[in-house]
Amino acid sequence: MTSPYRIAGADLAALLHAAQGTADCDLAARYAPVILFDSREPFLPLVAGFTIFRSDADSPSFRRRIALAPAGKPAAALAIEYAIWWDWDIGHLYELEHVWVYVDGAGQVVRVEASWHGELHDMADDAALALAGDHPTLFSEPGKHAFAPDPAWFCRRRSPSEALFQTTRWAGAGGVLVTSLFERELRPARTPFANTLVRSYLSQRAFEPAREFTQRVALTAEMLAPWPAVRGWIPERVTWWIEKLKAEIKPAEMRFLRIAHRGASAHAPDNTLAAFRKAAALGADMVELDVQVAADGAAVVIHDLVVDWPIGGRGAVSDLTAAELKAFTIKGRGGADDERIPTLDEAIECCTAEGLGMYIELKAAGAAPRVVAAVRRHDVCDWVIVGSFRPDWGAGVKLLDTRIATSVLFSAPNVDPVKLAQAVAADYVHPCWERLDPEPHKLLTVDWISRVRQAGLGIILWHEERLAEIAALRKLGVDGICSNAPELL
């Protein structure tokens, strides 16, 4: 029976069939690696695109140059590059990792290198390569698939808590992966809805690694294809998966972003580091935080335009320097330490350490360029959404960096969300209707949601603490819901 999701060019069997029996494929198969996976690993490789080098040249799929006889290393007559493809990494849709096998004139493997999250390293462990005949043996990082010569290598590069977060809490957090190799083809596919579908799929496959590498996958000739064929197949394969998820995942099954409004503001002073850390402890995916500009140009995290706190005094945020603002304190709750106004840099550092994304609301003119600069400085473009009730401020963010997702916030129910978002190239619409109706979810009609989705836009909803409303909102298939009490989500 023909698959209802079949898209021309996305068929794996057709891709592999064309390469079988060629001399280059046989050569690549002779030296193809054997990979050991965690016993609980849900995703195994499907195909490897190979490239054979008989002289020094740039890799077609990795940012590096292949050198057959570099100084201080055994010389090789040829090198074989294996660009190994998975449909899924536990964090995002698709994975591409690499292995390079160097062979001398006698046909012996003399060197092996492998990739580690965009970098590469030598696979010799204590100066000895692990080989099964002519096949290098490697270990794959649970869920993430980067390569190492032995399992202890993983522990030296990730803390136990970070490693566990990667396969559990952060499952699906990366959405549709877009790398420089596929920027042109896949950037349009990385829509808010596609990211939500990916998050929904992968959150159901989160796992705690056993750290027992008992799954063995040998890359055979039947799994190999020339890199140019794989390179052309990948964008269509990604599109195929997105269409498949659209057809299979129901709205009520979607894993929306749990956004802690001003942090876990029901439990700690809002917009403080304590509120952000509490949000992480309560299972939030992101924190919403407000950014203004102090008198000295520093980006600071505070909601109200005028500070009037119990300790420190009062004054307009724009008239006070960051140092003066930090002199203001507010009593912590439940005997907790007093809190201070954080800078945006401090907030980003805190959220990064806690594994939180950030939904940054612009509260003042001039905040946009400072937010963009901070997001770039901390390299968190893919973990941030920037929103505002001022659409022109969000447009300013897009003007500075198109990679940063933006949203438009609005209160009136008669606003055309699609036209508003399209006018400023926003990615999300964010109705703030919590006070408009006793049951505001009824304002989100099927037609309203359908029209927004057809425009390729995401939907983030107001902060909500009413259990009945949250239960109703969960069924709508939105991308994010805010709450002062993120545990309710």
- What tens digit of pLDDT does each residue of 47-56 get? 999 999 999 9
pLDDT tier for residue 334 given thresholds of 50, 70 and 90: low
Domain membership flag for residue 5: no
Query: pLDDT value at position 9?
Result: 53
CA nearest neighbour of 346 among 319, 322, 381: 322
* Cβ atoms < 10 Å from Cβ of 75: 13
Query: pLDDT value at position 192?
Result: 95
For the chain, helix, strand, coil in percent to 5 are 35, 25, 40
Predicted confidence (pLDDT) at residue 2 exceeds the cutoff of 70: no
Are 379 and 245 in a shared domain? no
Catalytic residues: 261, 303
Q: Residue 176's beta-bridge partner residues?
A: 93
Domain membership flag for residue 369: yes
Are 247 and 265 in a shared domain? no
pTM of the model: 0.90
Q: Which residues neighbour 381 within 8 Å (Cβ) at sequence distance 6 or greater? A: 375, 401, 403, 404
> Where do runs of H (alpha helix) occur along 294-390?
322-326, 344-354, 367-377
Are 150 and 248 in a shared domain? yes
Are 400 and 444 in a shared domain? yes
Query: pLDDT value at position 14?
Result: 79
Domain membership flag for residue 466: yes
Structure token pair of residue 66:
């292949």
Contact 96, 117 (CB under 8 A): no
Tell me the backbone φ, ψ of residue 429, rounded to 5 degrees.
-110, 145
Average of per-residue pLDDT across 353-380: 95
- What is the per-residue burial (b if ≥16 Cβ within 10 Å, else e) of 44-61? ebebbbbbbbeeeeebeb
Full residue range of the structural domain in which residue 147 is found: 12-252
**Distance (Å, whole) CA 34 – CA 75:** 23
Structure token pair of residue 290:
């407000």
**Distance (Å, whole) CA 373 – CA 235:** 31
Mean pLDDT of the chain: 92
Given 252, 276, 306, which residue is the final one in a domain? Answer: 252
